[in-house]
Amino acid sequence: MAVHRLTFPTTEEAIRELRAGDEVTVDGHVIGIRDRTQIRIFDQGVEPPMDLRGAFLLHTAPGVRKLGTDAEGRGRYEKVCIGTTTSARMVRFTEPLGERYGVRAICGKGGFPDEAIEPMRRLGMVYFAIVGGAAALETTQIEEIEEVAWEELMPECLWKFRVKDFGPLTVGIDAHGNSLYHDVQAEANRRLEGILERL
Amino acid sequence: MTTAVDTDLYGVVEDAAAYLYVWALKDIPQDLRDALADAAARETSIPGQRVLNTILKNVQVADDGGNLVCQDTGIAVYTCRVGERFPLHPVRIYQALKAGTERATIEHPLRSNSVHTLTRENTGPNTGYRLPIVHWEFIPDWDGLDVKCVPKGSGSENMSFLKMCVPADGVKGIKQFVLESIVGAGGKPCPPGIVGVGIGGSADYAMYLAKEAIARPIGTRNADPHVAKLEEELFQLLNETGIGPMGLGGDVTVLNCHIEHADTHMTLNPVAVNYQCWAARRASAHIGSNGDVDYDREA
Ligand code: SF4
C-alpha cells in the first residue's frame, strides 16, 4: 500500500497510478458539493459556474461564517467547521461527473456502492475515503474558502477550497476496477455465514 | 403561577442545556478517548490504523483549537432523570431545554440541522416541532434533576434497524439480526462506534431502549446477568466481521455493544439497533433543587 502526494486539479495519468488501499495526501483545490448541488446540475440541467476538469470533489455541507460580499455581490465566507458527509446517497452522479465534466476524484465517507466501480475504471476516476467525523482536523487543512457559487443552496453550495496536507485519505475505489468496500463487504458476508452457523 | 424559584431554576436548566450541547460537541468523554486509544493499539489493518490514528489526532486538534470534534451537530437528544420533589415542572424543564438548545446554536454559532420532515424547510436553531427530543425518567423520593445531552449525528442514526422477531427465533434471532444490521451498515455510520440494542417491550419502546443503550458510558454492562452476557457475546462477534474502521476492513468494527431491555408480551420478541458513531458525544449536568449545577462529562 503506497503513499502518495497529489496536487489538484490533476490528470488521468496521475489518477491511474493509485491503487485501492493506498494513502494519499492532497494539496491544491478541492470543490465542495452535496446532494442539492448535484440535483441542480443533473436533474435541473443548470451548468455549474466552476471548472470541474481534473477536479477533486468533496461531499460536504460546511459550517461557515459570512464575512461580507465582494464587488460583484458574491458572499465571502470563513470556515468554522468543515467535515464530510456520507457518499452513498450521491453515487448516481459519478458517471456524468466524469464523462461530462472530467472530474477525477470524489471524496467522502462510508464509500460508494459497486455501481461506481465500472464508471471509475472506464473514465479514470477514484473514490477517496476520508475519516468521517474528523472535522476538527479537516478544518485545519483547509486554508481558505476561495469561491462560493449558488449561495441560495446554503450550505449545499458549490464551494472552492484551497487545501494543504489534506488527508490522510485512503483510495477506496481505484481506476482499475478495485473497490475496498466491495472486498470488505464480501469478506464480512463470508465471515457472517460462519458466525451464524456457530450460533 | 410562576414563582421566583421556578424562574431561577428555569434559567439554570436553560443555561445547563446550552452549555451541555456545546461541551458535548467539543470535548468527548474520557471513557471514549480510552476506548479509541485501545482500538488504535489493537488494530492491525493498515487502512484501519490510519483511520484510528487520524481520529485520535482529530480529538487532540479539537481540544487544542476549541473546535467541534465532528461537523454534524446532530439532533439534540436529552435524557432527564427528574426527582419527585424537583421544584420545576417537566413542562418547564422541556421549555428550558429547548431555549438552551436554541441559544447555543445561535450564539456559538452551530450548524442548524432541523427541518420539517415533509417540506424540508429549516424549522429553527436545532429546534422545531417536538425537537429537541427528550427521554424522561421519574425518580421517587428525590429532589434533583440529571440532564444528559447526546447530540446524535445523522450518519449513524440513519443506520437504525428494527425487527419484530418471533419468540421461536429466540436469542439466536436477536444475535443474527444485530450482526446482519452492522455488516449491512458497513462504513456508513462512521465505525467503530457503540452498537445500541433494545430488546423486548414493544416496537417503539425497543428503539427507545436502543437509544438509551448508546448513551451509557462505554463498556458498562447491563445489571441483568443474562443481558450482560449477550452484550459481551455480541461485542466479540461483531468484531469478528472484519468491517473495520470506516468500513475499510480491520479488527475493530465496534467499540462496544450495549443492550437495554424491557419485559414484553409472550408472543413478542422485538429487536432494535441504534448505532452510535465513534464521535459518541455526551455530557451531563446534575442540578440540585437549590439551583446548584455539577457538570459531569463521564456520566
Ligand atoms: S456519523 Fe457521527 S462521526 Fe460520522 S459524521 Fe455523523 S456525527 Fe460525525
The interface residues of chain B toward chain A in range 194-233, judged by CB-CB distance below 8 A, are none
| Cell reading at A48 | 455549474
Q: For residue B40, tell me if it sits in a domain.
A: no
Q: Do A191 and B242 touch (CB under 8 A)?
A: yes
Does residue B39 lie within any of the structural domains?
A: no
pTM of this structure: 0.95
Contact A195, B241 (CB under 8 A): yes
Find the closest chain B residue to A109 by CA distance: B188
Let me know whether B225 and B253 are in one domain.
yes
Q: Which domain holds residue B81?
A: 4-26+70-151+281-296
Place of cell 497510478: A17
- Name residue A81's beta-bridge partners: A63
Cell numbers representing residue B169 in the block: 427465533
B207 neighbors B291 (Cβ within 8 angstroms):
no
What per-residue confidence (pLDDT) applies to B129? 97
The CATH number of the domain where A164 resides is what? 3.20.130.10
Q: pLDDT per residue over B139-165, tens digit each?
A: 999 999 999 999 999 999 999 999 999
Cα-Cα-Cα-Cα dihedral sign, residues B80, B70, B185, B116: positive
Out of B62, B172, B241, name the one closest to residue A191 (CB). Answer: B241
Asked if B128 and B85 sit in the same domain, the reply is yes
Residue B195, strand partner residues: B257, B275
A151 touches chain B (CB under 8 A): no
Together in a domain, B21 and B97: yes
Task: Tell whether B48 is covered by a domain.
Answer: no
Identify whether B41 is part of a domain: no
What distance in angstroms lies between residue A129's CA and the mean position of ligand 1's atoms?
14
Same domain, B159 and B257: yes
Indicate whether B79 and B113 sit together in one domain.
yes
Q: Do residue B75 and residue B146 come from a single domain?
A: yes
Q: Does residue B285 share a domain with residue B268?
A: no
Are B187 and A132 within 8 A, CB to CB? yes
The 3-class SS string of chain A reads: CCEEEEEECCCHHHHHCCCCCCEEEEEEEEEEECHHHHHHHHHCCCCCCCCCCCCEEEECCCEEEEEEECCCCCEEEEEEECCCCECHHHHHHHHHHHHHHCCCEEEEECCCCHHHHHHHHHHCCEEEECCCCCHHHHHHHEEEEEEEECHHHCCCCEEEEEEEEEEEEEEEECCCCCEHHHHHHHHHHHHHHHHHHHC
Terminal alpha carbon distance of chain B: 34
- Nearest partner of B255 among B193, B210, B213, B298, judged by Cα: B193
Q: Out of A80, A129, A199, whose CB is closest to B175? A: A199
Whether residue B247 and residue A199 make contact (CB cut-off 8 A), yes or no, is no
Domain total in chain B: 2
Full residue range of the structural domain in which residue A58 is found = 3-198
- Each residue's pLDDT expressed in tens, for chain B with a length of 299 residues: 567 777 799 999 999 999 999 999 999 999 999 999 999 999 999 999 999 999 999 999 999 999 999 999 999 999 999 999 999 999 999 999 999 999 999 998 888 899 999 998 889 999 999 999 999 999 999 999 999 999 999 999 999 999 999 999 999 999 999 999 999 999 999 999 999 999 999 999 999 999 999 999 999 999 999 999 999 999 999 999 999 999 999 999 999 999 999 999 999 999 999 999 999 999 999 999 999 999 998 99
* Span from the CA of B155 to the centroid of ligand 1 (angstroms): 5
CATH code, domain with B11: 3.30.1330
Tell me what ipTM this predicted complex has. 0.94
**Three cell numbers, residue B76:** 439534540
Q: Whose CA is nearest to atom 5 of ligand 1?
A: A133
In angstroms, rounded to a whole number, what is the distance separating the alpha carbons of residues A184 and B244?
A: 9
C-alpha grid cell, residue B273? 439497533
Contact B67 A83 (CB under 8 A): no
- Per-residue model confidence (pLDDT) at position A73: 86
B 253-292: CB under 8 A from A? 277-279
Q: In 10 A of CB B101, how many CB atoms?
A: 27
Residue B98 lies in a domain: yes
- Say what the pLDDT of residue B1 is: 54
The pLDDT value recorded for residue B111 is 86
Domain count, chain A: 1
Asked if the structure places residue B290 within a domain, the reply is yes
**Triad B182, A117, A53: Cα angle to 5°:** 120
pLDDT band at A140; cut points 50, 70, 90 = very high
Q: B134 and B240 share a domain? A: no
Q: CB A131 to CB B55 under 8 A?
A: yes
- Same domain (yes/no): B125, B16: yes
| Whether residues B190 and B258 fall in one domain | yes
pLDDT value of residue B162: 98
